């Protein structure tokens, strides 16, 4: 039996009427070649070869299983075996699900609205995590975070689309982290 592709609709979160899920890309069908099931912090992820983000060209990507809807087996052979064979699963999962160590603090971070899925994947929707709209283009998440350079680097990965806004000592630590990086490029 030849491994086959699957199709599904992929859900994303929205802050309309509380946190709800809606179909991504207006209900477009994702066609993916499945390879491995991963688990991280109690969530299952499908590692597959298919469309990722806004890119049309297929690549190895992870899809949250609980956000996949109307999953169907397609009568099409699986693709991406060569790309998948090049992956070191251990380093891939470490990179995708980077663990942050450090002192736990209650932090508020403002994000642009299109990053809601990313924030929910990182912080979850538990009873200790709060999301609120902030104007028309942003939302704020308040959650417990382990403060570390890796956490600051994760925030930096979003460039100007996100900003730590509370508490003041973590904002100050972020400023020191950024000025330390800036320093090495100015010498």
Write down the pLDDT at residue 104: 84
Distance, in Å, from the CA atom of 127 to the CA atom of 129, rounded to the nearest integer, reads 6
Given pLDDT bands bounded at 50, 70 and 90, which one contains residue 112?
Answer: very high
CB 15 within 8 A of CB 116: yes
What's phi and psi for 137, nearest 5 deg? -115, -5
Question: Are 161 and 115 contacting, i.e. CB atoms less than 8 angstroms apart?
Answer: yes
Instruction: State how far the Cα of 35 lies from the Cα of 80, in Å rounded to an integer.
Output: 9
DSSP 23-84: EGGGGPEEEEEEEEEEEETTEEEEEEEEEETTEEEEEEEEEEGGGEEEEEEEEEE---HHHH
How sure is the predictor about 142, in pLDDT bands with cuts at 50, 70 and 90?
Answer: very high
CA dist 149 and 38 (Å) reads 26
Residue with the bigger pLDDT between 59 and 72: it is 72
DSSP 77-118: E---HHHHHT--HHHHHHHHT----SEEEEEEEEEEGGGHHH
- Dist. CA 157–CA 177, nearest whole Å: 13
Q: Alpha-carbon distance 86 to 13, whole Å? A: 32
Contact 177, 152 (CB under 8 A): yes
- Cut 0.95: pTM above it: no
Contact 6, 32 (CB under 8 A): yes
Is the predicted pLDDT of residue 116 greater than 80, yes or no?
A: yes
- pLDDT, tens digit, for every residue of 46-68? 999 987 666 677 888 888 899 89
> What pLDDT score was predicted for residue 79?
92
């Amino acid at each position: 039996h030849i491994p086959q592709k699957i199709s599904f609709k992929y859900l994303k979160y929205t802050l309309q009427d509380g946190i709800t899920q809606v179909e991504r890309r207006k209900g477009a069908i994702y066609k993916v070649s499945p390879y491995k099931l991963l688990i991280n912090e109690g969530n299952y992820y499908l590692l597959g070869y298919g469309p990722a983000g806004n890119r049309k060209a297929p690549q190895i990507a992870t899809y949250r299983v609980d956000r996949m809807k109307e999953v169907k087996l397609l009568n099409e052979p699986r693709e991406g075996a060569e790309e998948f064979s090049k992956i070191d699963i251990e380093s891939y999962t470490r990179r995708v699900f980077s663990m942050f160590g450090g002192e736990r603090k209650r932090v508020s971070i403002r994000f642009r609205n299109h990053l809601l899925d990313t924030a929910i994947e990182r912080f979850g929707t538990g009873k200790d995590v709060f999301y609120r709209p902030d104007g028309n283009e942003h939302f704020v998440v308040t959650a417990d975070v382990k403060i570390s350079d890796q956490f600051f680097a994760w925030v930096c990965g979003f460039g100007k689309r996100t900003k730590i806004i509370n508490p003041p000592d973590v904002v100050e630590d972020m400023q020191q982290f950024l000025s330390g990086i800036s320093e090495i490029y100015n010498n």
